[in-house]
Structure 1
Amino acid sequence: MAPIAAGDVIPDGILSYLDENDQLQKVSVHSLAAGKKVVLFGVPGAFTPTCSMKHVPGFIEKAEELKSKGVDEILCISVNDPFVMKAWEQTYPENKDVKFLADGSATYTVALNFELDLSEKGLGIRSRRFALLVDDLKVRVANVESGGEFTVSGADEIFKALSICMSAIFTYSLLLGCT
């Protein structure tokens, strides 16, 4: 199976999180993304250096700008349990917009075909670093890293893609005489 790509419909899957009362909640990806513009980004692991110091902070810092371009939800998933994801989320007290979701058994990561086998490093199956721009369940942009890189899956790259999309829509509407 090929990895999810632009033009594909994202598969449904169940992710989990702990609510404000530390109760386990399960949520379907389709329920979070249907009828919305969503950024779904994945990281190899909570508390890892690049994920904690670059990837997540970039989305937290750019959240308002992404929302100004029409993004309804920003979802971070990792192959960790919901307890770890909540503890990680709490290290970002300034965060109001990024939802941290657990894919503890990598089921959703495998459905996207983004799994990364880090067993040789003692980490088991993890996720490739990625960022998807999804509009009503359809992938518009799929930025997927190879290996441990961090070059295309950050908030800046998604923001650029959104700006290009918005510019293209505006230009197209002008060509059609719609203003």
Structure 2
Amino acid sequence: MRAFVRTNGVFYRKFSHQQLDSYLAEFELDASQKLSSLSYGQKKKFLISFGLATNARILILDEPTNGLDIPSKSQFRKIMASALDEDKLLIVSTHQVRDLENLIDVVLILEKGQIIFNHDIAEISEKLRFEADVRSTAPDLVLYSEDAAGRRPGMIKNTSGVESRVDLELLFNGVVKNTASVEAHLQNQKNYAL
């Protein structure tokens, strides 16, 4: 790891060895180990630590939690929360949305190279509700639902205006299957606010 840091850290003007050491300690990694001796998950933890320690204004992470076990995912969330600040933009591309849901500010969904959804998480939680079972919900409120073991989880119009927890998997499925209706509801709600 030290050789990698010596070789690559110099390319980042704001690289912090102190931050790197802190992240590695949180991930329980020994900086004296060779990268070639690490498991896939350990390499992933090192690369996350290195990336954050660069203090780059924009950092893109692609599937950062793949290969991490459950305790490591918890460590990852803690590290990410501590690394966030107003001067950095962290873009995370992932299919493992549950690993990151408490860290997300904006949800952007791409399909076939096109942006089909781009909304702030606060706006989503105010205008949409995610229910474990929508079978007793008025049909005109349901934007998306799916079958699941004896119930029907779904995404509905939030008519109360009270913020709700966002289920990112249901949101993704609903947007992909019913983009026009979801967007129309969000846009319609924006117009009411004006």
TM-score for both structures, normalised by structure 2: 0.26
Higher helix share: 2
Higher strand share: 1
Give the structure with higher Rg (CA): 2
Q: RCO (CA 8 Å, sep 6+): is it higher in 1 or 2?
A: 1
TM-score for both structures, normalised by structure 1: 0.27
